Amino acid sequence: MTPKAIKAMEASDIIVGYNTYIALVKDLIKDKEVVGNGMRQEVDRCQKAVDLAAEGHQVAVISSGDPGVYGMAGLVLELIQKLPKEARPECEVIPGLTAANTSAAALGAPLMHDYAVISLSDLMTPWEQIKNRAKLAAEGDFVIAIYNPKSRGRATYLDEIRDIVLQYRKPETPVGIVRKAGRPGMNWTISTLEKLPEEHVDMQSTVIIGKSTTFVADGKMITPRGYKA
């Protein structure tokens, strides 16, 4: 979190969010009214926040990482637009550290050049489209940061993406895996495309696949920016 995000929660009357994320900030919101719900209830959650704000409450909608990156900022703004102009509450989006950036810092400096961020969750995006995006990113030699890489219902998706990337990259291409990025218990490992199926990856993991020039030195994953000595 940024200090500004903490101040926004402190200044709010009501905190709205996914129950898992609310639990992460429980020590900061002890004196607040809390509205929480579960996975796949995002529209109800954000609609409640907009309704409360329209009534005059100071509301903070929390997301993990950055609210504008696979978070709730876009949905909140869309729902506000459905209100008559004179009834729309003011909304400020406060940035946070994304899983990709937090993971990159733990691994070293893998995002020093152009990179793509792809979520393997097919709840909002067709799987064929996700695979095509991965193909184009691999073909373009982007570093690829992968969100939501594996769940019980999507156990094979990461392996399929790996096979696509292997068409354009060497088997020894470095791959970083960070679990619980920015949270208690964060841990990471650096592997390769070839060995990726052997590594422990779950929904709390962020996977960063290096580009053709990415290398590992002293336990750090490095993508050269191209500076000359």
Residue 227 lies in a domain: no
Whether residue 58 sits in one domain with residue 133: no
The tens digit of pLDDT for each residue in 26-57 reads 999 999 999 998 878 899 999 999 999 999 99
Average pLDDT, the chain: 95
* Alpha carbon 136 to its chain's center: 20
Number of Cα atoms under 13 Å in the Cβ half of residue 18: 15
Write the burial class of residue 144 (CB in 10 Å: 0-12 exposed, 13-18 middle, 19+ buried): buried
The residues of the chain scoring below 50 in pLDDT are none
Whether residue 153 sits in one domain with residue 190: yes
Whether residue 136 sits in one domain with residue 37: no
**Residue finishing a domain among 53, 87, 121:** 87
Q: What is the pLDDT of residue 38?
A: 83
* Residue 172 structural domain: 99-222
Residue 229 lies in a domain: no
The tens digit of pLDDT for each residue in 89-112 reads 999 999 999 999 999 999 999 999
Can you point out the beta strands (E) in the chain? 14-18, 33-37, 59-62, 108-109, 115-119, 143-147, 174-179, 187-192, 205-209, 215-217, 220-222
Q: What is the pLDDT of residue 229?
A: 59
Q: What is the pLDDT of residue 39?
A: 78
Q: What is the pLDDT of residue 152?
A: 87
**Residue finishing a domain among 62, 87, 112:** 87
CA separation, residue 186 to residues 3, 20, 56, 59, 102 (Å): 21, 16, 38, 29, 10
Q: What is the pLDDT of residue 77?
A: 97
Q: What is the CATH number of the domain that holds 55?
A: 3.40.1010.10
Whether residue 216 sits in one domain with residue 108: yes
Q: What is the CATH number of the domain that holds 121?
A: 3.30.950.10
Nearest alpha carbon to residue 206 among 101, 103, 134, 70: 103
The stretches of the chain forming alpha helices (DSSP H) are 3-11, 19-24, 42-54, 73-81, 99-107, 127-139, 157-165
Whether residue 57 sits in one domain with residue 116: no
Q: What is the pLDDT of residue 174?
A: 98
Nearest alpha carbon to residue 145 among 225, 223, 39, 64: 223
Q: How many domains does the chain have?
A: 2
Q: What is the pLDDT of residue 40?
A: 81
pTM: 0.93
Nearest alpha carbon to residue 140 among 223, 211, 209: 211
Whether residue 111 sits in one domain with residue 31: no
